[in-house]
Structure 1
Amino acid sequence: MPLILCLASASSACLLLLLLALELQLGRAPRLGASGSQERPSGCSWLRILVPAYNEHDNITDCLGAIVAALPPDWPIELVVIDDASSDDTQALADSARLACLRTDLSWRVVQAGPRPGGERWSGKNWPASVGADLSWPGGDASSQWLLFLDADVRLRPGVIEAALQEACSQGSDLLTLAPRLECSCLAEWLVQPIVATLLGLGFPIRRSNDPDDPTAFAAGPFMLFRYSSYLAIGGHRGVASEVVEDLALARKIKQANLRLRYLLGVDLVDLQMYRSLAALWEGWTKNWFLGVDRNWFKAAGSVGVVLLLFAGPWVAAALLLLQQLLGGAVMPLTAITVGASLVLVLAIRLWSSWRFGTPIRFWWLSWLGAFLIAAIVPASIWKTTTGRGWTWRGRLLEG
């Protein structure tokens, strides 16, 4: 079989399987909808919302504004921003937002995380998250107190607080986490994030994560709602202090302790924009990718192969077919049809995402470029993670 037909056939078959798997695993996965009631569940005596922040000049004001707008009235809620020694004006902006807030029913603190303990390894936001969780509580007992950890690049929509707590209390959840809607602004995000969302959805199936008898566990770090007593039982962020991908580690600890993990789609209520430039995206994914596959070289190489076959293969086949035609070679109808079908299936994946999650199909024809960018990210992630060289987040060096 000619090379072009082989490549297009393999890509088409895998894309079709991917589309079916997406519909079965994500299209029909449980999702959280806005609550029709603002009544506080009896299992919640107090909610503390924690926003660890490090150099979040571009995000902190909008994040806090969205949180305040989403809060139900007259609930016992405390909002805590923990600044992790930012070198920009993150703390000043958080203080300004607090002073400008007109809600008198909201307890609000902006605190400094302070230096990390000497002789201990604390990665990423684990230290400020732990500092915020250790603050004294205004009231309630641990079994009815809840901690909601939010990243500063999250934007909440009204109704999400009520819905998340009502769901967690009714289901007896110890950790409820929501997969947010990924927002893209720069070209680099449009190239990479839709592919990454697809891989995450299939690599960490929601139904398996929700099955107490299945060891699969996943949590989306941007939105994690813990029952405080359960958070303490697994050691909290202190128990995963050295973990760079702490959300995955916390989810695994919850399941290992025979506690209840609840993982839902939150695309109707939580928005997330992770990166604003190619440089930020490169730094972020080269930090996390190899860790996300448990430092497994085989999984890392496999992820590159899968991405290239699915999202670059059809375009490479089309380019080779066009080149063959320009050079005067004969083009078999079956080859042309198969190449065309593979390109249609690439578009079908994005159309499915638009149908199910409202994701625009913008720049879908550049999926090949996104695939090649990921193919460059993965070996860079392996190098940084194993050597520690250039392994940073916002310029702050991480330890290997």
Structure 2
Amino acid sequence: MTRGQVMFERVYLAGALAFLTLKAVTLLVNAASFPRLRSCPDQTTSDRISILVPARNEAENLRHTLPGLMTQGAFEVLLLDDQSQDQTAQVALQLGATVLKGHALPYGWLGKSWACWQLAAQARGDVLVFTDADVRWHEGALRAVHDTLMRHRADLLTVLPRPEGLTVGARLLTPLVDAVVLSYLPYPLLQSALPLATTANGQVMAFRRSAYLASGGHAKVRGDMLEDTQLARHLKATGGRVVQALGQDWIGVRMYGSYPDSVQGFGKNAVGVHLESRGLLVMLGLWHLMVYTVPWLLLLGGWGWTVVRVVGVLERTVVNVITGRKGPGDLAEGLLGPLTPLFALPAYVMALQPTVSWKGRQYRQQPARLKPFLRVGIHSKEQR
């Protein structure tokens, strides 16, 4: 090995160890500080809570998820049928939801934001809870959501549902939603006043109605593919408080049923997750290959590379434990760590295309405007 090769390996190893150490510290911080939904007593509240479900071709999911929503005790459950080609409206009506017929998609809008905006216009609640059709609400979940919203004095509570019923193919990419949030975004940073340091999950977002309207609601993010995080940033920039929480035993999701579904889902959001930068997306994709996959392929020797391999495998397992996933398959999921960057490559390739396809619609990828989120939001004492 030449002197230059030795130097390169040392720098490579130091970079990998520093990267994994930073992520490990972030995981420890979030294990201690990230809010979890918790059981709370059945108590009366003066708040009227509207559960709002945007749905397009979701008949099969609704048969499994809507019954749980209907028993939460909400003031109203509204479902918007977004021009479905299946039995979405009929299934929802049979299960007791109030069904709204969605209007044609206007120019400049993306489907989900348009559906949510129509729902908000019809909702009568003081608290607006947007939730996807594939999310499972277990008994007492709405009480836990409302209690967390009030206890943290939040204007927006966004929840990470716990993945459920994962197939082998879905395990390859789907749990990365939790891994990205918990290993890259320390909760104290998310609670800083900087709007850009904000994330949200559109699967469950509970707003105080007044804060939702003051931020511009989904009309403000009508053309953004990553509308959930963009909306949270707008709310924070206008002085609102955004709180994130883990769903634990209360809220679960079967987001993607297979590996191809995961690729399509991650591909449509990948650019937004990487701060609207395709350059950053490519660099991080290559770096993940270098850290998690290449050390196994090259069989690099020494204690340092052993640490890199072990930590790279344990990382996903630790994430699953924090989110409450402790079954044998969940604990063994870390073994997929070295393979994940390889299986993520098709999603990266899809993200680099000028258009993406979702729910039977074609969207041209438009970069979101991040400049307004670089300034510090101002929180009033009442909001704090």
**TM-score, normalising length from structure 2?**
0.84
- Report the equivalent of 2:317: 351
2:102 is the alignment partner of 1:95: no
| Cα distance change, pair 196–305 in 1 and its aligned pair in 2 (3 A) | farther
| Cα distance change, pair 201–363 in 1 and its aligned pair in 2 (3 A) | closer
Say which SS state the counterpart of residue 173 (structure 2) adopts.
helix
- Report the equivalent of 2:181: 200
- Report the equivalent of 1:331: none
**TM-score, normalising length from structure 1?**
0.81
CA contact (8 A) 1:192 1:373 kept: yes
How much has 1:8 moved relative to structure 2?
Answer: 6.1
How much has 1:2 moved relative to structure 2?
Answer: 8.7
How much has 1:275 moved relative to structure 2?
Answer: 0.8
1:286-297 equivalences under 5 Å are 286-297=267-278
Q: Which stretches in structure 2 are left out of the alignment for 5+ residues?
A: 1-5, 366-384
How much has 1:87 moved relative to structure 2?
Answer: 1.0
- Report the equivalent of 1:28: 32
1:214-363 equivalences under 5 Å are 215-318=196-299, 335=301, 337-359=303-325, 360-363=330-333
Say which SS state the counterpart of residue 361 (structure 1) adopts.
helix
- Report the equivalent of 1:18: 23
Distance in 1, matches of 2:148 and 2:7, equals 54
Say which SS state the counterpart of residue 228 (structure 2) adopts.
helix
Q: 2:41 aligns with which of 25, 37, 44?
A: 37
| Cα distance change, pair 183–315 in 1 and its aligned pair in 2 (3 A) | farther
CA shift digits 1:275-318 (9 cap, x unpaired): 11222112111111012223213321232133213321332233
Q: 1:112 aligns with which of 71, 85, 101?
A: 101
Give the residue type in structure 1 aligned to 2:101: Q
CA contact (8 A) 2:314 2:334 kept: no
- Report the equivalent of 1:86: 84
Q: Once structures 1 and 2 are overlaid, which stretch shifts more, 47-56 or 235-244?
A: 235-244
CA contact (8 A) 2:78 2:119 kept: yes
- Report the equivalent of 1:149: 130
Q: Which stretches in structure 1 are left out of the alignment for 5+ residues?
A: 99-107, 322-334
Task: Compare CA radii of gyration and give the structure with the larger one.
Answer: 1
Distance in 1, matches of 2:216 and 2:82, equals 21
**Structure 1 vs Structure 2 CA RMSD:** 2.5
CA contact (8 A) 1:48 1:146 kept: yes
Higher relative contact order (CA 8 A, sep 6+): 1
CA contact (8 A) 1:81 1:94 kept: yes
How much has 1:222 moved relative to structure 2?
Answer: 0.6
| Cα distance change, pair 123–342 in 1 and its aligned pair in 2 (3 A) | same
Distance in 1, matches of 2:314 and 2:336, equals 14
How much has 1:378 moved relative to structure 2?
Answer: 1.6
Distance in 2, matches of 1:155 and 1:210, equals 27
CA contact (8 A) 2:173 2:263 kept: no
Give the residue type in structure 2 aligned to 1:34: R
Distance in 2, matches of 1:32 and 1:22, equals 15
CA shift digits 1:183-239 (9 cap, x unpaired): 362333212233443223344433222234564121111110011111111221122
- Report the equivalent of 1:399: 364
Distance in 2, matches of 1:315 and 1:293, equals 26
| Cα distance change, pair 259–15 in 1 and its aligned pair in 2 (3 A) | closer
Distance in 1, matches of 2:228 and 2:42, equals 28
CA contact (8 A) 1:41 1:169 kept: no
Q: Once structures 1 and 2 are overlaid, which stretch shifts more, 108-117 or 13-22?
A: 13-22
Distance in 2, matches of 1:354 and 1:297, equals 29
Distance in 1, matches of 2:189 and 2:8, equals 38
How much has 1:52 moved relative to structure 2?
Answer: 0.3
Aligned pair count reads 356
Distance in 2, matches of 1:204 and 1:263, equals 11
Distance in 1, matches of 2:249 and 2:191, equals 20
Say which SS state the counterpart of residue 80 (structure 1) adopts.
strand
- Report the equivalent of 1:125: 112
| Cα distance change, pair 201–364 in 1 and its aligned pair in 2 (3 A) | closer
